[in-house]
Structures are given as C-alpha cells and as structure tokens.
C-alpha cells in the first residue's frame, strides 16, 4: 500500500462519491427550482459511473490511502439498487468506513437493507422542525415528520446517525434552538453547516452566512457547552458536548474557520470527474479513462499524479471578491 501526499503534504484519506445528480428535493440554497426545473438536463444513465466502475475506482483509491468513503449526490437513495454498491464497497480490503449523506426522504423504508449491505453510518440533512419553514426550504412539500421518522428507523436498524443543518440568514435561524433541543433529547449529534459559496446558482454572499460564532452565542444562552478535542487529523467538524449530558453538536465552519491545511478529501462527481477541492472549476475525467483500455496500474498512476500536484486551499484564501469571481461547480453535482 502506498501513501501519497499533495504539494502541501496532505495525505489522501477520504473519498466522496456522488452516485447521481438528480434529487427529489429542490432546496433553495442547493437546487433552486428556477434553475433545476422540468427542462434541466440531468445526466443520462450511461454517463453515470456504473457500480463496477465505482468499485474499480474505490479499490484504487484505497490502495492510495483512502480509509473512508461517503456516498452522496444529488440524492443517493434515488440511485437504483444502491445497496448493491454498498455490498461491493464493503468487500474492499483496507476500507474502514462507509457512510452516506441523504435528505432522509426515502431512508425509512431503506434503512435496514442499507445496514444489511454493510453501511455503517448516515448523515441526514434536516434544516428545520417547523413544517412551513422546512417545506419552504425544500420546495417539495415534504414535512419534517417524514424525515424524523426516517431518522428513528435508521437508529432502529443499527445505523450511526448524525443530522446536518445548513443555517442561512433569513431562512432558518429561529430553528437553531428547537433543533438543538430535539436532537439533544434524542442524543443524536447535530452539525450546523455554514452556508457556503458552492456553485453558481444559490445567490451566496457573506451577509447570508450565519457563522459558528453566532450560532454558539445563541446556544450558550440556553446550554452549557464544552469543546471536544478532534478525534483524528482531518476531522472537519468542530465538536462540543453538552455539560453533564450524553449529547454533542458540531460545526462545519468552511467560511468562518477554514480547514484546508488538514483537508484529506477527494471527490468523484456522478459523471466520473475527479475533483481535489469542493470549490474546483475543473475536474479530471476518470470515466473516459475507465472506458478506455487503460491498465489498473496506469489508472492508479494518473490519479496519484493529480493528488501529488494538488495545491487547493480555496477556503483559506476566500474573499467576497474571489467568491463572486470564481466559476464553481454545483453542490448537487459534486455532492458536498
């Protein structure tokens, strides 16, 4: 097994694979309906990586040092037979962890099958407990009750569960305390995610960002919170525990406290393009290579070379001007 590093000495440890670019929600900050409407050209099936192609890549990435794979999308549970892919990934020697990020809409019915296939953990995205607020955000007429039921089903099936809440000014700030109270009671870790300037369509600007500092200030008025030391190098969430309770929260601070120095993550989009940063403009076409007669060794070398040349540190260098200027790919395509 070779362990590779990039130009800033960062190893390759995590791989996020987007298995589909479609979604059954139209979250206003991710896939606004005006852009992702009826006429939007999603990828045709033959342009998505097949499960066999994903498996081939996963084996190579694990050979280069990857320990953890997260499946995402679009909505990954819309990909037909996703549990078959999980079974294939589970069988890879050296892969320590398989997780999945979902909007939870279809998770209730699928949780047991996913767990049986070898999935260990799910992150469920839920931005509000209030029915009207949540429906306004997802723009798809699904209320929070369905997602909360899925979360319970996932726990019952034995999956580890965390909840992701994107916080955005004017959208759901009033939901921070109700969400914290609900998931503290359930002892499910809740992660607050700063609204990020991914893609070109979500109307991001600094004024819409609610930072970790602001959220913490609000929480401190209600709870006693203590910071938790990171449990491993490259841990993205800044974690806190409620004093004297068996519950914790976390923050994904990609705007207010960037973490590029410890970023060990590569991403493969649904069409097989490799990205070494969430904010990249250009990907490297692995699908074309997979569908050529390239040997596994040559494929491995070309991926290794991409990582070796990596210099990305977008969040460290972000300014309002650079955020507005840079052309970036959409979150629903690269998978977050």
CA-based end-to-end distance of the chain? 28
Q: Does 194 bind ligand SF4 (CB under 6 A)?
A: no
Q: Which of residues 71-90 bind ligand SAM (CB under 6 A)?
A: 72-73, 75
Q: Which does 248 bind (CB under 5 to 8 A by kind): ligand SF4, ligand SAM, none?
A: none
Rounded Cα distance, 143 and 318, in Å? 35
Rounded Cα distance, 205 and 10, in Å? 29
Q: Least distance from C-beta 291 to ligand SF4, angstroms?
A: 26
Q: Which of residues 270-329 bind ligand SAM (CB under 6 A)?
A: none
Q: How many CA atoms lie within 13 A of 138 on its CB side?
A: 25
- Residues 170-199, mask of contacts with ligand SAM (x by CB under 6 A): -----------------------x-xx-x-
Rounded Cα distance, 136 and 225, in Å? 31
Q: Least distance from C-beta 301 to ligand SAM, angstroms?
A: 31
Rounded Cα distance, 62 and 291, in Å? 20
Q: Least distance from C-beta 193 to ligand SAM, angstroms?
A: 5
217 touches 158 (CB < 8 A):
no
Cα angle 218-224-229, degrees, rounded to a multiple of 5: 100
Q: How many CA atoms lie within 13 A of 311 on its CB side?
A: 2
Name the residue nearer to ligand SAM (CB basis): 205 or 309: 205
Q: Does 31 bind ligand SF4 (CB under 6 A)?
A: yes
- Residues 256-275, mask of contacts with ligand SF4 (x by CB under 6 A): ---xx--x-x----------
Of positions 110, 332, 333, 334, contacts ligand SF4 by CB under 6 A: 332
Q: Least distance from C-beta 307 to ligand SF4, angstroms?
A: 12
Q: Least distance from C-beta 105 to ligand SAM, angstroms?
A: 9
Q: Which does 198 bind (CB under 5 to 8 A by kind): ligand SF4, ligand SAM, none?
A: ligand SAM
Of positions 12, 17, 20, 30, contacts ligand SF4 by CB under 6 A: 30
Q: Does 14 bind ligand SF4 (CB under 6 A)?
A: no
Distances in whole angstroms, Cα of residue 64 to Cα of each of 59, 297, 324: 9, 12, 34
Q: Does 4 bind ligand SF4 (CB under 6 A)?
A: no
Q: Which does 72 bind (CB under 5 to 8 A by kind): ligand SF4, ligand SAM, none?
A: ligand SAM
Of positions 11, 273, 315, 323, contacts ligand SF4 by CB under 6 A: 315
Q: Which does 195 bind (CB under 5 to 8 A by kind): ligand SF4, ligand SAM, none?
A: ligand SAM
Q: Which does 260 bind (CB under 5 to 8 A by kind): ligand SAM, ligand SF4, none?
A: ligand SF4
Q: Which does 313 bind (CB under 5 to 8 A by kind): ligand SF4, ligand SAM, none?
A: ligand SF4
Q: How many CA atoms lie within 13 A of 205 on its CB side?
A: 4
Write out the residues near ligand SF4 by the rule CB under 6 A.
23, 25-27, 30-31, 73-75, 103, 125, 254, 259-260, 263, 265, 277-279, 312-315, 332
């Amino acid at each position: 097994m070779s362990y590779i590093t990039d130009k800033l000495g960062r190893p390759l440890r995590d791989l996020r694979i987007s298995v589909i670019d479609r979604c059954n929600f139209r979250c206003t900050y991710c896939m606004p309906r005006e852009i992702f409407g009826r006429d939007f050209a999603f990828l045709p099936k033959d342009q998505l990586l097949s499960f066999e192609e994903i498996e081939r890549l996963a084996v190579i990435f694990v050979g280069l040092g990857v320990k953890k794979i997260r499946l995402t999308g679009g909505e990954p549970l819309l990909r037909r037979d996703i549990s078959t892919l999980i079974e294939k990934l589970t069988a890879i020697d050296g892969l320590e962890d398989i997780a999945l990020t979902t909007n939870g809409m279809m998770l209730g019915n699928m949780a047991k099958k996913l767990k049986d296939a070898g999935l260990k953990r799910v992150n469920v995205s839920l931005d509000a407990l209030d029915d009207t607020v949540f429906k306004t955000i997802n723009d798809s007429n699904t209320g929070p009750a369905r997602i909360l039921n899925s979360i319970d089903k996932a726990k019952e099936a034995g999956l580890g569960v965390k909840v992701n809440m994107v916080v955005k000014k004017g959208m759901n700030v009033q939901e921070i305390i109700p969400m914290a109270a609900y998931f503290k009671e359930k002892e499910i870790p809740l992660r607050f995610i700063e609204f990020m300037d991914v893609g070109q369509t979500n109307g991001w600007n600094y004024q819409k960002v609610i930072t970790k500092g602001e959220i913490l200030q609000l929480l401190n008025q209600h709870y006693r919170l203590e910071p938790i030391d990171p449990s491993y190098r490259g841990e993205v969430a800044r974690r806190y525990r409620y004093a004297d309770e068996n519950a914790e929260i976390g923050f994904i601070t990609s705007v207010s406290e960037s973490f590029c120095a410890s970023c060990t993550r590569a991403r493969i989009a649904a069409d097989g393009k490799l990205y070494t940063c969430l904010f990249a403009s250009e990907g490297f076409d692995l699908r074309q290579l997979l569908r050529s007669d390239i040997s596994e060794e040559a494929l491995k070398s070309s991926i290794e070379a991409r990582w070796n040349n990596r210099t990305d540190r977008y969040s460290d260098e972000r300014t309002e001007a650079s955020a507005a200027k840079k052309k970036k790919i959409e979150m629903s395509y690269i998978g977050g």
